[in-house]
Amino acid sequence: MKILDRYIGWTIITATLTVLVVLVGIFTFFAFIEQLEDVGRGNYTIFKVAVFVLFSMPNLTYEMFPMAALIGALIGFGTLMRNGEITVIRVAGVPKGRVLLSVVKAGGILLALAVLLGELVAPPAERFARDFRNVAINDRVTFRSDNGFWSRDGESFINIREILPGNQVRGLYIYEFDDLNRLRTSTYAESARYDGKQWVLKDIAQTQLDDEGMRERHLPEAAWDSMLKPDLLSMITIDPESLGILSLVRYIRFLDRNAQDTQRYQHALWTKLTYPLATVVMVVLAVPMVLRANRSVTIGQRVLVGALVGLGFHLLNQAAGHLGVVYEVHPMLSAAGPALLMSVIAAVLLARTP
């Protein structure tokens, strides 16, 4: 049976990887064309567009895995079916469940590849791509809001206007409150740099409020210890869907400690946990789709069906995420819903396939 596992697995995996290369190539080309609209802004050249697109490819590849798995499995398993190899295997006494197990093992290998790509390669590459593009366009990493980024650190509220490369920020406001929610200290720093242990504030203007009145002072430099580390700040500059599981867990804990909304990040976390499983589901879904189809079905038709189903799953997965956040659906349900739906469809089709 190991020979059977290797043969079926190799056929499906090679077909899936081939399809993955084609899909990533197509979507990368469109991404490159889209980025050309910004050429000329700041120092954003065609070469830098190519660098940005290159480092965006791992995250794009990760997103394409389920679709590629379905199309690849349809092509690979469909080729075995068309050549009569699956029929020979079944006639030899191998039950449908054992053939399905070989397919699942192939899906497990693809699952492992997706997890490694999504956790180890895609997040840092995507972070570098976004920072590289922002620096090329306007020499800084900025937030979409006109008022910068707001965060809470214990009893303090922090406002950062600009995030710069190299663990630096510009325009830092710190508002410290007491237990009665009364403002006690207002601090403004022209810039701040993280030295590996703490923040070093420069050109500081501080106002202290107490029962005796208001006092102001100016400092050229001072140290500031905060839970808001550079790695947490870097998560704000990219979508939470592009972060790794450990980064999301760490940032969700930070938001929880400061009583901030974590809905969007929890959804991204559950998506990270369930999305790779969709790769296995898609591979399994291909089995009844092939077995129930006529042997005269061409590879082109299989590709078309796989592309439509895979694209539908991709769109459904994105829509479920946005709707889950808007309507406050539990993150686990909104994230795992599309994969669970495809699992049910695969199970029903398998049960009805002889």
pLDDT score of 19: 93
Instruction: Supply the pLDDT for residue 144.
Output: 47
pLDDT at 296: 63
pLDDT band, residue 239 (cuts 50/70/90): low
Region for 181 from its dihedrals, namely left if φ exceeds 0, alpha if ψ lies in -120 to 50, beta otherwise: left
The helix/strand/coil state of 348 is helix
pLDDT cut 70: percent of the chain above it: 90
Average pLDDT over every residue of 50-59: 94
Q: What percent of the chain has pLDDT over 90?
A: 24
Average pLDDT over residues 178-185: 86
Mean model confidence pLDDT for the chain: 83
What are 200-233's pLDDT values in tens digits?
A: 999 999 999 887 778 899 999 999 988 777 766 7
Cα 54 to Cα 132: distance, rounded to the nearest angstrom: 12
- Token readout for 24 is 């990533």
Name beta bridge partners: 174.
158, 187
The single residue listed with the structure tokens 């005269």 is: 296
Mean pLDDT across the stretch 124-146?
A: 70
Buried b (16+ CB within 10 A) or exposed e, 60-71: bbbbbbbbbbbb
**pLDDT tens readout for residues 312-345:** 887 887 787 777 767 777 777 877 888 888 888 8
The pLDDT-based confidence of 181 (bands split at 50, 70, 90) is confident
Q: For 260-303, give the secondary structure using H, E and C.
A: CCCHHHHHHHHHHHHHHHHHHHHHHHHHHHHHCCCCCCCHHHHH
The string of pLDDT tens digits covering residues 253-309 is: 877 776 667 777 888 888 888 888 888 888 988 888 887 766 566 667 777 777 888
* Residue, of 16 and 262, whose pLDDT is higher: 16
* Averaged pLDDT for residues 187-201: 90
Q: What is the mean pLDDT of residues 110-130?
A: 88
On the question of pLDDT at 168 being above 70, the answer is yes
* The residue type at 102: S
Beta strands in the chain (DSSP E): 141-142, 149-153, 156-164, 168-177, 183-194, 199-210, 213-224
Q: What is the pLDDT of residue 56?
A: 93
Give the number of other CB atoms < 10 A from CB of residue 40.
Answer: 11
pLDDT exceeds 80 at position 169: yes
Let me know: does 51 contact 132? Beta carbons within 8 Å: yes
Among residues 236, 345, 228, which one has the least CA distance to residue 281?
A: 345
Residue 235 has pLDDT above 70, yes or no: no
